[in-house]
């Protein structure tokens, strides 16, 4: 399971161990060019889907908050949006296509690292190329790479951290350990599950370390403990700091776990009784059995490096354990995790005849993963738009309504972004809207005629959309219905011009 490393590793004490590939053998410019080249297929898919007007809920949330902060010129108006790293990167140029472009680049970085890492297997270039293509050209990978920026960014950072981590625990290179810990700490700001993987990797340090001589047993215990702390401490520090800040300013230290962008708590499964959770184990077991590439790689490790099987198996079951606890580890993310682990866990110096079998198992895993992931509603809709080349009517209606709302004067539309986030993102400007983050919002909610010209309401908006909840049954005094579009109702003040061409 050796992987490419960025710093020069300490030579292994055992002659049969294999030193990993070194990323420092290429300059940062060479790496950048290769990342961009590997990103091109993902960028093509992302821009095609954008042209077809598809926008995932996750990206709509990120863009809406970035637009709000950019227009108000105050970061504090977004509250404690989690995860902050995707939001801050989109803030540079907040447009609906920006998260998809950044996700494609992050996915290209993953694909490049996997391709480079496969060199250590000794397989011919043809089989390595086919293996790489067979795992990145699946609906699961393409969806993550174009519609799930926080998740693919976290996966990218975890893959980078893994290379340093392996150099640290197997070859004792201290600097690599510090880098691995820092990258995992940074990954917490991309996705909550990076924190859980930091804990898991720290706990698996003793299983991944080499055995020591009896005369050095005491010192090896302390070295193992030190490596565990170095791996997990940055992630613990970032998680504790973010939790403390949430507690100080909101009164609830775990507010971010239920954030709209990448909620960690599944509101349905979190309160499920124990007997129901036991039933989930069968479903999770079948899901793992539907990963032939991962199972084949575990078998290869059992053949070549038996001591790696236990820690690798524990890592493979982590997505199931996370969901068993009631956390919202999405199925596309789980399938992507299985695939990454399978490729990173490939043993070194494999026989040539293994290459065709690995490609076959990768294709089978892609087929089974497609059958599983298309059960997800948003993924199924994305796949239908991509394969048919036809935009959904709801997306076209949202885009048309957003174009109409863009014409409104600044702060003239009363709306709640907890329900209207998709429209605000498609408008590509928060300027026309008066939102809960604005100081005048409570006054406008109490007396809209004195503060705004339009009100945006949806009958199907969530319960926390206070504007829709208050005006769902009809317009307030002084307002009339301006029109219906995209499951939204626009109320217009009697003296204000109409925004919608067709009432």
Q: Which residue's structure tokens are 């939204």?
A: 488
Pick left, alpha or beta for residue 9 (phi over 0 → left; psi -120 to 50 → alpha; otherwise beta).
beta
For 452, residues 6+ apart whose C-beta sits below 8 A from its C-beta are 411, 412, 413, 414, 434, 444, 493
Determine the average pLDDT of the residues in 250-263: 80
Helix ranges restricted to H, 121-148 = 125-136, 139-147
Per-residue pLDDT tens over the stretch 166-188: 888 877 778 888 999 999 999 99
CB 263 within 8 A of CB 257: yes
Query: 366 pLDDT exceeds 50?
Result: yes
CA proximity to 182, closest of 235, 124, 218:
235
The proportion of the chain whose per-residue pLDDT surpasses 90, expressed as a percent, equals 68
Read off the DSSP letter of residue 375: T
- Whole-number Å distance between alpha carbons of 238 and 236: 6
Task: Extract long-range pairs of 204-210: CB within 8 Å, 24+ residues apart.
Answer: 204/311, 204/314, 204/315, 205/169, 205/231, 207/307, 207/310, 207/311, 208/166, 208/169, 208/170, 208/308, 208/311, 209/169, 209/170, 210/12, 210/13, 210/14, 210/17, 210/170
Q: Where are the domains of the chain?
A: 15-384, 393-493
Q: Which two tokens stand for residue 489?
A: 């109702």
Q: How many CB atoms lie within 10 A of CB 9?
A: 19
Q: What is the pLDDT of residues 194-216, one digit of tens each?
A: 999 999 999 999 888 753 334 44
pLDDT at 215: 44
Q: Measured between alpha carbons, how far is 155 from 415 in angstroms, rounded to an integer? A: 35
Cα–Cα dist 101/97, whole Å: 6
Helices (H), 274-330: 274-289, 292-304, 309-324
Residue with tokens 């820690």: 311
CA distances from 227 to 29, 66, 233, 235, 282 (A): 31, 38, 10, 14, 35
CA dist list (Å): 105 to 30, 318, 366: 15, 26, 22
Residue 446 in this model has a pLDDT that exceeds 90: yes
Contact in structure between 359 and 131 (CB atoms under 8 Å): yes
CA quadruple 264, 270, 275, 277: dihedral, nearest 10: -10
At 371-411, the pLDDT tens digits run 999 988 899 999 999 999 999 999 999 999 999 999 999 99
Residue 9 pLDDT > 80, yes or no?
no
Of residues 332, 353, 21, the one with CA closest to residue 155? 332
Q: Which of 16-30, 74-88, 122-136 shows the lowest mean pLDDT across its residues?
A: 16-30
Q: What integer best gives the mean pLDDT of the chain?
A: 88
CA distance 301 to 313: 11
pLDDT in tens, 75-120: 777 767 888 999 999 999 999 999 999 999 999 999 999 999 998 8
Q: What is the pLDDT of residue 27?
A: 74
Q: Which two tokens stand for residue 432?
A: 């026309």
The answer, yes or no, to whether residue 341 has pLDDT greater than 90, is yes
């Amino acid at each position: 399971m050796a992987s490419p490393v960025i710093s020069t590793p300490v030579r292994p004490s055992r002659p049969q161990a294999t030193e990993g590939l070194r990323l420092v053998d290429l300059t940062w410019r060479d790496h950048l060019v290769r990342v961009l080249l590997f990103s091109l297929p993902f960028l093509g898919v992302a821009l095609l889907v954008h042209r077809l007007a598809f926008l995932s809920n996750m990206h709509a949330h990120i863009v809406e908050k970035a637009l709000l902060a950019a227009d108000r010129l105050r970061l504090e108006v977004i509250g404690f949006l989690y995860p902050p790293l995707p939001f801050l990167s989109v803030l540079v140029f907040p447009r609906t296509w920006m998260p998809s472009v950044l996700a494609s680049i992050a996915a290209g970085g993953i694909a490049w690292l996997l391709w480079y890492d496969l060199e250590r297997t000794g397989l011919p270039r043809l089989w390595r190329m086919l293996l790489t293509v067979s795992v990145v050209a699946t609906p699961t990978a393409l969806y993550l790479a174009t519609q799930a920026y926080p998740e693919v960014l976290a996966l990218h950072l975890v893959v980078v951290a893994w290379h340093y981590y392996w150099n640290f625990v197997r070859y004792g290179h201290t600097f690599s350990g510090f880098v691995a810990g820092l990258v995992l700490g940074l990954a917490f700001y991309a996705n909550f599950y990076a924190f859980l993987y930091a804990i898991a990797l720290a706990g698996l340090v003793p299983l991944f370390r080499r055995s020591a001589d009896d005369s050095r047993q005491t010192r090896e215990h302390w070295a193992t403990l030190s490596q565990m702390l170095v791996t997990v401490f940055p992630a613990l520090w970032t998680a504790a700091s973010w939790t403390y800040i949430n507690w100080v300013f909101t009164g609830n230290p775990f507010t971010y776990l239920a954030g709209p962008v990448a909620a960690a708590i599944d509101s349905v499964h979190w309160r499920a009784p124990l007997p129901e959770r036991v039933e989930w184990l069968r479903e999770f077991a079948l899901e793992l059995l539907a990963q032939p590439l991962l199972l084949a790689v575990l078998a290869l490790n059992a053949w070549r490096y038996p001591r790696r099987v236990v820690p690798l198996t524990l890592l493979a079951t982590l997505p199931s354990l996370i969901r068993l606890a009631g956390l919202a580890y999405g199925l596309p993310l789980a399938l992507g995790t299985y695939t990454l682990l399978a490729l990173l866990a490939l043993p070194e110096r494999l026989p040539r005849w293994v290459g065709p079998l690995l490609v076959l198992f990768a294709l089978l895993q892609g087929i089974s993963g497609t059958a599983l992931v298309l059960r997800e509603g948003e993924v199924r809709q994305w796949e239908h738009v991509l394969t048919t080349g036809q935009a959904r009517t709801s997306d076209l209606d949202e885009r048309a309504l957003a174009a109409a709302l863009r014409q409104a004067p600044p702060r003239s539309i009363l709306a709640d972004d907890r329900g209207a986030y998709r429209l605000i993102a498609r408008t590509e400007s928060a300027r026309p809207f008066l939102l809960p983050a604005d100081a005048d919002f409570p006054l406008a909610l109490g007396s809209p005629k004195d503060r705004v010209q339009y009100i945006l309401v949806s009958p199907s908006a969530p319960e926390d959309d206070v504007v829709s909840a208050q005006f769902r049954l009809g317009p307030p005094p002084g307002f009339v219905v301006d029109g219906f579009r995209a499951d939204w109702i626009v109320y217009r003040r009697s003296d204000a011009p109409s925004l919608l061409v067709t009432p």
